[in-house]
Amino acid sequence: MKKTIIMSLITSALLTSLYAQEHKSPAQILEEALKKMEALVDKDASKSELNITKVDTNMTKESNITKIDDNNSFTLGKYGTFKFEKANDNVYIMHGPVVSPNKENQGFMNNPAVIGGETGLIVVDPGGNYNVGKKILAEIEKISDKPIVAVFNTHKHGDHWFANKAIVEKYPNVDIYAHPNMIKASKEGEAEVWYGILSRTTGNLDGTKEFAFPSKTLIDGQKIEIDGQKFIIQHPQDAHTDTDIVIAHMNSMTLFLGDNLMKGRLGSFDESSSIFGNIELLENIKKETDFKLYVPGHGKSGKKDETIDPFLNYLKVLAEEGQKAYDDDKESYEVKGDVMKKLPWMMEWDGFEKNMPTHLNKVMLEIEELELAKESSKE
Ligand SMILES: [Zn+2]
């Protein structure tokens, strides 16, 4: 496809979602469209490179260990045993328990991932505390002898990055990457807030301080090559939080979405989040990308639609019902039941009953802001 066609397609797709974008200027929208076009073109380029990339045969250590000693396995009570499983070419993921932090999961409930480079390993979101990090390290050693050379942290929430501490202890020179907003927010109080949350709920934070903050920054549109592995970074200005990065691993065609996507459980939004921004991000990813594997922050990874649709549909129901309630001058608690009725399949998601009303309230605040902005632009 020619660049101009791709550009106009993306631009019109973006312009049609104007409702969600009203807070952005046309220049910003166009700039974003151009960036996305660039990412798409690069993706195609790397796809063709893929054909000539030699198959990595270094990450086959697992097959040598036919029997893992039970004492040596990472087990969390009723949640069972956890290990890294091959999810894509050269990409290994350990899918954590899909529940909120508690004593039994010891603060492990995210999806740490390992990408095999030429001489070392790259880790995405190593987990929620120092002790979990040690166990993750031991599991990584079961799949490869290579050292960890880099770590990505997708956002500011401690359940994803507090385990940096264990990696830094073993590999003091490791590069840890995150968005500048993530580093700033974490250092300015968010790390302490999460330390409080996780120590109350899991009681397993010993050794986690002093925090091992990321020190290398990644910005929207940045392309980075680490140890022969190519990545393209997207920073949605406002989606799950304003600190998130979405990481495209181009060698394997894997997209790591962090908590912009969840499956099987809900988490929290905060004042830096935008539910409309999150919807827009997921819709654009659905329209414009064709990765082999999509990895949520929590819950099972998989193909595009099966992984993205449930959470995206949830957010869209919130937005629709929130708008109706706003138009009818109702409070969020009055329409809670209508949302529940539309999402019977979500009753089994962890945290649904607790988080949904908060999310509904949040989306209505966003609607109110958008409506007020509309009003004032008319005047
Ligand atoms: Zn999370």
Q: What span, in angstroms and rounded, lies between the C-alpha atoms of 123 and 227?
A: 12
The pLDDT of residue 363: 97
* CATH code for the domain defined by 56-279+295-302: 3.60.15.30
For residue 261, give the amino acid letter: L
| Mean residue pLDDT across the chain | 86
Cα of 267 vs centre of ligand 1, distance in Å, is 7
* Domain extent listing, the chain: 1-52, 56-279+295-302
pLDDT of residue 59: 56
Q: Which two tokens stand for residue 256?
A: 């790591």
Over residues 247-268, the mean pLDDT reads: 97
- Mean pLDDT to the nearest integer, 34-62: 43
Give the Å distances, CA to CA, from 198 to 8, 24, 206, 340. 46, 35, 11, 29
Centroid of ligand 1 to alpha carbon of 377 (angstroms): 37
Residue 371, pLDDT score = 92
Tell whether the model's pLDDT for residue 303 goes beyond 90.
Answer: yes
What are 177-217's pLDDT values in tens digits? 999 999 999 999 999 999 999 999 999 999 999 999 999 99
Give the C-alpha separation, 346 to 365, whole Å: 23
Residue 378's pLDDT is 80
Q: Which of 35-49, 239-253, 278-292, 293-307 has the lowest mean pLDDT?
A: 35-49
Tell how far the Cα of 8 is from the centroid of ligand 1, in angstroms. Answer: 35
Q: Tell how far the Cα of 109 is from the centroid of ligand 1, in angstroms.
A: 8
For position 70, what pLDDT does the model report? 53
pLDDT at residue 304 in the model: 98
Lowest model confidence (mean pLDDT) among 44-53, 121-130, 261-270, 340-349: 44-53
